[in-house]
Amino acid sequence: MNRRSFFGMLAGGAVAFPIAPLLTNAERLNRSATAISDAHAKISMAQYTSDAFASLAGQVFSFHRTAGANDPPIHLELVEVEPSPHRAMAGTRQSFSLLFALRSDDTTEESTLHLRHDEFERCAWFFNRVTAPQRDPKTPYYEAVFG
């Protein structure tokens, strides 16, 4: 399965399983602006958008296999932010994907990993190991999709 067909499946599933609360675009932007303007507030998963990650391309994120972070971190570099080509339904978040390159020795296949980042609330992300045709074939790549 390629990344674009996965977006199509995700867009169809977003109707049955909405992740974000049903907010208007103005409400979502207001929540994001409030969270970002507060130096102590962290971005929650409900506030994730492709725009929230676009400026972070090239940054290395730390993830752990357990919520307690008692295990060594897995370092993944954000290399691409891709909005879904499918239009979001009214009241739902625009789907997008984040492509990461492994920057540590601890590889994994598909997995739930726990984010540790200064700008984001702690939470679990589901990753799939993917092929990235126009990138280094020796580097493991991982994708997280949000809808």
Report which of residues 73 and 33 the model is more confident about.
Answer: 73
- pLDDT tops 50 at residue 88: yes
**Nearest Cα residue to 119 out of 41, 63, 66, 54:** 41
- pLDDT tops 70 at residue 131: yes
Q: What is the mean pLDDT of residues 9-28?
A: 47
Q: How far is C-alpha 116 from the chain's CA centre?
A: 13
- Cβ atoms of 63 and 114 within 8 Å: the answer is yes
Q: What is the mean pLDDT of residues 14-32?
A: 48
Report which of residues 91 and 113 the model is more confident about.
Answer: 113
Residue 7 has φ and ψ, to the nearest 5°, of -60, -40
State the sign of the Cα–Cα–Cα–Cα dihedral 146, 78, 57, 131. negative
Tokens of 23: 């907010």
- pLDDT tops 80 at residue 84: yes
The answer to which of 12-16, 43-47, 75-79, 121-125 has the lowest mean pLDDT is 12-16
Which band of pLDDT confidence, cut at 50, 70 and 90, is reported for residue 2? low
Share of the chain above pLDDT 90, in %: 54
- pLDDT tops 80 at residue 36: no
| Secondary structure (DSSP) of 20-64 | S----HHHHHHHHHHHHHSTT--B-GGG--HHHHHTTTTPEEEEE
Which band of pLDDT confidence, cut at 50, 70 and 90, is reported for residue 25? low
- Cβ atoms of 58 and 65 within 8 Å: the answer is no
Question: Collapsing DSSP states into helix, strand and coil, what is residue 125?
Answer: strand
Which band of pLDDT confidence, cut at 50, 70 and 90, is reported for residue 38? very low
Strands 74-83 and 124-130: unpaired
Each domain of the chain, given as residue ranges in start order, spans 3-146
